[in-house]
């Protein structure tokens, strides 16, 4: 039987850790305190890694950012753009072909599309984080409300 700990997790910190593209850090969530922290991936201190391993019921490793998933997400976003010229520029940028530039730079000239992308990204990553929390028997306030309404 799993023990449930009622802890407060700072959502913005969890989202930052979940979406961090920094490969030199391994992020963890302390199930007992709700604290989000990282250990340098290159840490030579075997004791730190031993503590993380033996404390698996307490310390939950936060998955690394998945660039492949982001690329698929961006492809879907670009595919839904009605303006064929903008869609072509963004596709070229996603494919790494210059002189079109960075996707964020291009979208800065198209504020409606930029806002739509930000909203879609927020929803997408929030959904992934909520699913990850639920897979690890951690629930958000929204999840708890849905569970209690089913009973």
Q: How many CB atoms lie within 10 A of CB 1?
A: 3
Give residue 143's pLDDT band: very low, low, confident or very high (50, 70, 90): very low
Answer yes or no: is pLDDT of 129 > 50.
yes
pTM of full prediction above 0.75: no
More confident residue, 28 or 140: 28
Q: Give pLDDT tens digits for 43-102.
A: 777 777 888 888 888 899 999 888 888 888 899 999 999 999 999 999 888 887 655 578
Q: Are 60 and 28 in contact (CB under 8 A)?
A: yes
Q: How many CB atoms lie within 10 A of CB 141?
A: 9
Gap between the terminal Cα atoms of the chain: 20
Give residue 24's pLDDT band: very low, low, confident or very high (50, 70, 90): confident
Question: In the prediction, which pLDDT does 56 show?
Answer: 82
Question: In the prediction, which pLDDT does 146 show?
Answer: 42
Question: In the prediction, which pLDDT does 81 show?
Answer: 94
């Amino acid at each position: 039987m799993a023990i449930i700990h009622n802890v407060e997790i700072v959502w913005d910190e969890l989202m930052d850790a979940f979406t961090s593209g920094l490969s030199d850090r391994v992020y963890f969530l302390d199930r007992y305190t709700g604290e989000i922290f990282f250990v340098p991936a290159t840490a030579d201190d075997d004791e730190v890694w031993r503590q993380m391993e033996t404390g698996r019921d307490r310390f939950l490793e936060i998955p690394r950012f998945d660039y492949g998933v982001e690329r698929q997400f961006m492809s879907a976003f670009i595919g839904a753009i009605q303006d064929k010229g903008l869609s072509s520029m963004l596709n070229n940028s996603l494919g790494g072909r210059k002189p079109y530039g960075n996707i964020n730079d291009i979208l800065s000239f198209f504020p409606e599309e930029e806002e739509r992308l930000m909203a879609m990204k927020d929803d997408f990553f929030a959904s992934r984080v909520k699913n990850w929390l639920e897979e690890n028997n951690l629930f958000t306030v929204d999840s708890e409300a849905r569970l209690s309404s089913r009973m």
